[in-house]
Amino acid sequence: MCFENLKLFSYSSCSTCRRAIKWLKTNDITFELIDLLQSPPSKEMLISAFELYGDRKFLLNTSGIIYRSIGSDVVKKMTDNELLEQLIMEPRLIKRPFLYKSSKCLLVGFKEENWAEKLL
Protein backbone atom coordinates (compact mmCIF):
# COMPACT_ATOMS: atom_id res chain seq x y z
CA MET A 1 0.00 0.00 0.00
CA CYS A 2 1.38 3.40 -0.89
CA PHE A 3 -0.17 6.34 0.85
CA GLU A 4 2.28 9.13 1.70
CA ASN A 5 3.99 11.78 -0.44
CA LEU A 6 1.67 11.33 -3.40
CA LYS A 7 1.99 13.66 -6.37
CA LEU A 8 -1.08 13.96 -8.56
CA PHE A 9 -0.35 15.33 -12.02
CA SER A 10 -3.66 16.66 -13.24
CA TYR A 11 -5.18 18.83 -15.96
CA SER A 12 -7.83 21.27 -14.75
CA SER A 13 -10.30 20.69 -17.59
CA CYS A 14 -10.06 16.88 -17.32
CA SER A 15 -13.22 15.38 -15.82
CA THR A 16 -11.40 12.15 -14.97
CA CYS A 17 -8.86 14.15 -12.99
CA ARG A 18 -11.65 15.91 -11.11
CA ARG A 19 -13.20 12.52 -10.23
CA ALA A 20 -9.82 11.26 -8.99
CA ILE A 21 -9.30 14.38 -6.86
CA LYS A 22 -12.78 13.98 -5.36
CA TRP A 23 -12.10 10.29 -4.63
CA LEU A 24 -8.77 11.08 -2.93
CA LYS A 25 -10.38 13.78 -0.78
CA THR A 26 -13.35 11.56 0.10
CA ASN A 27 -10.91 8.88 1.26
CA ASP A 28 -8.81 11.40 3.26
CA ILE A 29 -5.71 10.72 1.18
CA THR A 30 -3.27 13.60 1.20
CA PHE A 31 -1.64 14.51 -2.10
CA GLU A 32 0.21 17.29 -3.82
CA LEU A 33 -1.75 18.57 -6.81
CA ILE A 34 0.50 19.44 -9.76
CA ASP A 35 -0.61 21.04 -13.00
CA LEU A 36 0.38 18.56 -15.69
CA LEU A 37 0.90 21.28 -18.28
CA GLN A 38 3.07 23.46 -16.03
CA SER A 39 5.14 20.67 -14.48
CA PRO A 40 4.82 17.35 -16.31
CA PRO A 41 6.14 14.14 -14.77
CA SER A 42 9.90 13.80 -15.15
CA LYS A 43 11.51 11.50 -17.67
CA GLU A 44 12.45 9.20 -14.78
CA MET A 45 8.82 9.02 -13.62
CA LEU A 46 7.66 8.20 -17.14
CA ILE A 47 10.34 5.52 -17.50
CA SER A 48 9.13 4.02 -14.20
CA ALA A 49 5.59 3.96 -15.57
CA PHE A 50 6.79 2.29 -18.80
CA GLU A 51 8.55 -0.38 -16.73
CA LEU A 52 5.72 -0.89 -14.25
CA TYR A 53 2.94 -1.11 -16.84
CA GLY A 54 5.04 -3.06 -19.34
CA ASP A 55 3.46 -1.38 -22.36
CA ARG A 56 3.74 2.25 -23.29
CA LYS A 57 0.18 2.35 -24.64
CA PHE A 58 -1.08 2.52 -21.04
CA LEU A 59 0.62 5.92 -20.68
CA LEU A 60 -0.97 7.53 -23.71
CA ASN A 61 -4.06 9.71 -23.79
CA THR A 62 -5.28 8.10 -27.01
CA SER A 63 -8.60 9.95 -26.95
CA GLY A 64 -6.99 13.39 -26.93
CA ILE A 65 -6.60 15.87 -29.76
CA ILE A 66 -2.79 15.81 -29.64
CA TYR A 67 -2.62 12.02 -30.03
CA ARG A 68 -5.11 12.09 -32.89
CA SER A 69 -3.23 14.92 -34.63
CA ILE A 70 0.05 12.98 -34.45
CA GLY A 71 -1.63 9.74 -35.46
CA SER A 72 -1.34 6.28 -33.98
CA ASP A 73 0.86 5.05 -36.84
CA VAL A 74 3.46 7.74 -36.15
CA VAL A 75 3.37 7.06 -32.40
CA LYS A 76 3.80 3.30 -32.97
CA LYS A 77 6.94 3.95 -35.06
CA MET A 78 8.56 6.11 -32.35
CA THR A 79 11.28 4.58 -30.25
CA ASP A 80 10.66 4.57 -26.50
CA ASN A 81 13.10 7.47 -26.12
CA GLU A 82 11.39 9.47 -28.87
CA LEU A 83 8.03 8.86 -27.22
CA LEU A 84 9.38 9.90 -23.81
CA GLU A 85 10.67 13.15 -25.29
CA GLN A 86 7.30 13.73 -26.98
CA LEU A 87 5.45 13.13 -23.69
CA ILE A 88 7.65 15.68 -21.93
CA MET A 89 7.28 18.26 -24.73
CA GLU A 90 3.53 17.69 -25.01
CA PRO A 91 2.22 16.51 -21.63
CA ARG A 92 -1.38 16.38 -22.90
CA LEU A 93 -0.29 13.08 -24.49
CA ILE A 94 0.07 11.57 -21.02
CA LYS A 95 -2.92 9.64 -19.79
CA ARG A 96 -4.24 11.37 -16.75
CA PRO A 97 -4.41 11.61 -13.92
CA PHE A 98 -0.85 10.49 -13.25
CA LEU A 99 -0.39 9.63 -9.57
CA TYR A 100 3.19 9.12 -8.44
CA LYS A 101 4.91 8.20 -5.19
CA SER A 102 7.84 6.07 -6.34
CA SER A 103 8.97 3.91 -9.23
CA LYS A 104 7.02 1.02 -7.69
CA CYS A 105 3.96 3.00 -6.65
CA LEU A 106 2.25 4.93 -9.40
CA LEU A 107 -1.10 4.92 -11.14
CA VAL A 108 -2.02 6.17 -14.60
CA GLY A 109 -5.64 6.97 -15.42
CA PHE A 110 -8.41 6.68 -12.86
CA LYS A 111 -10.21 3.44 -12.16
CA GLU A 112 -11.66 3.55 -8.67
CA GLU A 113 -11.14 -0.17 -8.00
CA ASN A 114 -7.43 0.03 -8.96
CA TRP A 115 -6.89 3.11 -6.82
CA ALA A 116 -8.72 1.53 -3.87
CA GLU A 117 -6.59 -1.61 -4.14
CA LYS A 118 -3.35 0.40 -4.23
CA LEU A 119 -4.19 3.20 -1.80
CA LEU A 120 -6.65 1.88 0.80
Determine what percent of the chain is predicted with pLDDT higher than 70. 96
pLDDT at 71 over 90: no
Predicted confidence at residue 3, as pLDDT, reads 58
Q: d(Cα 55, Cα 45) in Å, to the nearest integer?
A: 15
Q: What is the pTM of this model?
A: 0.86
Exposure string over 23-41, b if 16+ CB within 10 A, otherwise e: ebeeeebebeebebeeebb
What is residue 109's predicted lDDT score, i.e. its pLDDT?
93
Domains of the chain by start residue, with CATH: 6-119 (3.40.30.10)
Mean pLDDT, the chain, integer: 88
Beta bridge partners of 99: 8, 107
What's at 116, amino acid-wise?
A
